[in-house]
Structure 1
Amino acid sequence: MTILDKIIERKKEEVAAAKSRISLDRLKDTSFFGRPTYSLKESISNKSGIIAEFKRQSPSKGIINNNVQPLEVVSAYENSGASGVSILTDHDFFGGDLNDILSVRNDINIPILRKDFMIDEYQFYEAKSIGADVVLLIASCLSPAQVQEFTELAHQLKLEVLLEIHTEDELKHFNSEIDLVGINNRNLKDFKVDLQHSVQLKNQLPKEVLSVAESGIYSLEDFQFLKEKGFDGFLMGEYFMKNTDPAKAFEEFASQI
């Protein structure tokens, strides 16, 4: 089994347990469920284009930063011009939690991407209930039909969709309803990074689609290379989180672009 296979198997167990604890009706009754959402598409077009991530750990890197709190980091991201924030909610593999979004929602006014492995309709209602604005659909663990179905559900809930792809074959998961397409520079199966591969995939997307470069952006040079190649957004986490003070690292980076 690949790491992705293991994550999905565990995710199925997590979702089943969540359904038994909290019903859809209870999710719909939460205070955030009816709130107007922020548009990541608009924010990317109007600000830096950076979706700055809060991430404690990853399967490939282990612990990245376990010593900072979500609010102190993401509020600083916002103050320094981030277009949005990405917050990991997977617990077992990334050290995240739903409360990481709940704890910041009332204090920031930019879009929040719930970054997780979305495999079940329940998770979309869950995302809405904790105050997320955008959900991630990962092509490598969904069929094109599931992507279409989940996109329709997300839009019914007023959530935007970021579709993540990595291979040419996954281009078939794209449909015209998708809000943004993220191209993962890192292969989820072996975790190798290839920026040029991502550029080649981007060039096969319709020109009007907002494209987001994801993962493996380790320097200002990487950022500038991808921007010059036409990417609109940049999902960056480890570059900032590996620092003792991620907020300061983002501020310094933002001042150079």
Structure 2
Amino acid sequence: MNILDKIIARKKEEVTFSKSTISIEELKDSEFFGRKTYSLKESLKSKSGIIAEFKRQSPSKGIINDKVSPLEVASAYENFGASGISILTDKDFFGGSFDDILSVRNHINIPILRKDFMIDEYQFYGAKSIGADVILLIAACLTPHQVAEFTDLSHELGMEVLLEIHTEEELKHFNKNIDLVGINNRNLKDFKVDLQHSVQLKNQLPDDVLSVAESGIYSIEDFQYLKEKGFNGFLMGEYFMKNNNPAEAFEEFISNI
């Protein structure tokens, strides 16, 4: 069993427990459920193109930074020109929680991507209830039919969808209703990074699809290479979060590009 399989097995347990404690109707009564969402598609076109991530830890890197607050980091990301904020809500493997989004939602005015492993429609109501604007769908743990269904549900709830792929086979998960396609430079099964592989996949997408390079962007040179190859967005977390002061790291990166 690889790490992705372990995560999904645990996620199924987590969702089952959540369903037993909070109903969808209760989620619909939350403060943020009725709010108008921000568009990441539009924000990518008008700002830096960077979706800056708040991430405490990962299975491959262990603890990255557990000393800073989501509000401090997300506010700085917005102030220095991020197009969006990605926030991990998985607890067991990434050290995240709903509270990480709830603590910043009223304080920033750019899209928030709920980054998690979405396998059940219940999770989409949960995402809407905490103020998410965009949902991550990971092709590696979903069927094309599930991607289509979850995309429709996200749109019904007013949220956009970022479909994440890593292999040529996963191109089959794409459908015309997908808002953005993220190509993960890092293989979720063995965590190896290959930027050239991502470029090859991007070139197989329709020309009008907004593409996002995800993970494994470790330098300005990596960023510039992917930008030159036509990527519209760049999801970056570890590059900033590994610093004692992620806000300063982000500000410096923006000034250098």
Q: Which range, TM-score by smaller chain?
A: over 0.9
Q: Deviation digits for residues 157-207 of structure 1, max 9, x if unmatched?
A: 000000000000000000000000000000000000000000000000000
The residue matched to 1:85 in structure 2 has which SS? strand
The residue matched to 1:67 in structure 2 has which SS? coil
* C-alpha distance in structure 2 between counterparts of 1:203 and 1:215, whole Å: 18
2:221 is matched with 221
User: Which amino acid is the alignment partner of residue 41 of structure 2?
Assistant: K
* C-alpha distance in structure 2 between counterparts of 1:46 and 1:96, whole Å: 29
Say whether residues 1:189 and 2:185 are aligned partners: no
Q: How does 1:1-257 map to 2 (within 5 A)?
A: 1-257=1-257
* C-alpha distance in structure 2 between counterparts of 1:151 and 1:213, whole Å: 20
TM-score (norm 1): 1.00
* C-alpha distance in structure 2 between counterparts of 1:36 and 1:101, whole Å: 16
Q: Deviation digits for residues 8-52 of structure 1, max 9, x if unmatched?
A: 000000000111110000000001000000000000000000000
Q: What value does the CA root-mean-square deviation take over the aligned residues? A: 0.3
CA offset at residue 256 of structure 1? 1.2
Q: Deviation digits for residues 128-172 of structure 1, max 9, x if unmatched?
A: 000000000000000000000000000000000000000000000
* C-alpha distance in structure 2 between counterparts of 1:90 and 1:29, whole Å: 23
* C-alpha distance in structure 2 between counterparts of 1:167 and 1:23, whole Å: 36
User: Which amino acid is the alignment partner of residue 217 of structure 1?
Assistant: I
The residue matched to 1:250 in structure 2 has which SS? helix
The residue matched to 1:171 in structure 2 has which SS? helix
* C-alpha distance in structure 1 between counterparts of 2:106 and 2:22, whole Å: 22
TM-score (norm 2): 1.00
CA offset at residue 119 of structure 1? 0.2
User: Which amino acid is the alignment partner of residue 64 of structure 2?
Assistant: I
* C-alpha distance in structure 1 between counterparts of 2:73 and 2:21, whole Å: 30
* C-alpha distance in structure 2 between counterparts of 1:20 and 1:68, whole Å: 32
User: Which amino acid is the alignment partner of residue 138 of structure 1?
Assistant: I
* C-alpha distance in structure 1 between counterparts of 2:49 and 2:143, whole Å: 28
What residue ranges of structure 2 are gaps of 5+ in the alignment?
none
What residue ranges of structure 1 are gaps of 5+ in the alignment?
none
* C-alpha distance in structure 1 between counterparts of 2:65 and 2:128, whole Å: 27
The residue matched to 1:244 in structure 2 has which SS? coil
User: Which amino acid is the alignment partner of residue 176 of structure 1?
Assistant: K
The residue matched to 2:192 in structure 1 has which SS? coil
* C-alpha distance in structure 1 between counterparts of 2:33 and 2:161, whole Å: 17
* C-alpha distance in structure 2 between counterparts of 1:256 and 1:246, whole Å: 15
* C-alpha distance in structure 2 between counterparts of 1:17 and 1:101, whole Å: 20
The residue matched to 1:255 in structure 2 has which SS? helix
Residue identity (%): 81
Q: Deviation digits for residues 38-74 of structure 1, max 9, x if unmatched?
A: 0000000000000000000000000000100000000
